[in-house]
Amino acid sequence: MSPLFRRKAAPQERLVTLIRKPGCHLCDDAQAVIEKVCGELGVSWEGRDTTEDRALHDQYWEQIPVVLVDGEQHTFWRVDEGRLRRALSG
């Protein structure tokens, strides 16, 4: 469908997923940004652990942390607060 005709999702309909692993300082940094932005915008977020999901590990092991917005890869390694905010607001 053309972007012109897509319905803009309300914040409560959005979902940010942080794919991470234990002991990862970049993952901790990413989570802090996600908590801040999602909290301010009223967007839900979830964390997924690659040590508990083999498919996630196989897909993302060299990009951790990975951030998905509504199931689509948004970024990896470092999360830019402004870029995430724009993706969730626009």
CATH superfamily of 14-89: Glutaredoxin (3.40.30.10)
Q: How far apart are CA 31 and CA 76, in angstroms?
A: 12
**Among residues 29, 8, 5, which one has the least CA distance to residue 87?**
8
Check residue 90 and give its pLDDT.
74
What's the confidence (pLDDT) of residue 26? 98
Q: Specify the pLDDT at position 1.
A: 43
What is the block-wise mean pLDDT of the chain (90 residues), using blocks of 10 residues?
51 90 97 98 97 96 97 97 94
Proportion of the chain in helix, strand, coil states, percent, rounded to 5: 45, 25, 35
Q: Strand locations in 1-90, DSSP E?
A: 15-20, 44-49, 66-69, 72-76
User: According to the model, what pLDDT value does residue 41 have?
Assistant: 97
Strand partners, 44: 15
The domain ranges of the chain are 14-89
